[in-house]
Amino acid sequence: MKSFILRVAACFCMLSFLTGCGGAKRTAKVDAMREYFAENKYIIHACGEIADENGNLYTYTNSKEALENSYNAGNRIIEMDFHYTSDDHLVPGYAWGDLYKGDEQMTPGVAPSLADYLECKIDGCFTPMTFEDVAEFMRAHEDLLIVTDTKEENEKFCKMVSHDYTDLEDRFIIQIYHAKEYEPVIRSGFDHVIYTLYETEESERTEKALMDIAKKHLVGFTVYAEWADDPQFLEILKKTDTPIYVHTVNEDAAIASYFDLGIKGIYTDRTDLSENNVR
């Protein structure tokens, strides 16, 4: 991460000297982030898979144990889901139905209060976190980047972080789900945006629509694996001259095949790939 920060700083200085242009500075930051993603290859999905004490594997936990396990395995780009509790506290989490308070499962789809949430175990065995827990972990591990998955709460998330966690702004990569979300994210002070396409309509995935949003200089596009398998659609994405990331892929052969197609990064549940170097 230090080399990444030095590259960004060098780009800033050169572009400031040549142009004095804020837009050029943001372009340099995005280019450096693209390079960092290309070097790391893997974006760990929902903090990655984690085993319980019996060796059973779980995904989508966004838990303390999963975050620690992914980082300790050498991963430095981790995707996390975020939602708001019933009393409006931002917390990591994928679905409320995976929470157990003692032996009782919380009601699926119904947000609990923060107090109830913190008394629960995810899938009955893993520890939930507050946003402050995530922030403290990031401050203690300065080379960690977080890719956000906040669905409909993107603008609210960005405003909160830019107001209360300004020291961490550049280490969050904000996923947007529609092109119209780009400008509010940028106005909130964030430079690094990934456009993930799984919630888009067909009209949002035309060549013109994708070329238009690509002019904003995204960190990348993220697509379903099966969309990357469509040669015609993949060719349209390549025309945008924007890095392409694919989710969610766990098999070695499939991962290798996507890199052969020119895909720049893989969202995966696995945490061992940075060590095994499957590329």
pLDDT-derived band at 69, boundaries 50, 70, 90: very high
Q: Is 160 exposed, middle or buried (0-12, 13-18, 19+ CB in 10 A)?
A: middle
Per residue in 222-250, pLDDT (tens digit) is: 999 999 999 999 999 999 999 999 999 99
Half-sphere exposure for 10 (CA within 13 Å, toward CB): 8
Q: Which residue has the higher pLDDT, 19 or 132?
A: 132
Is the full-model pTM beyond 0.85? yes
Amino acid symbol at 150: T
Amino acid symbol at 34: R
Query: Taking the C-alpha atoms of 232, 147, 171 and 58 in order, what is their torsion angle to the nearest 10 degrees?
Result: -140
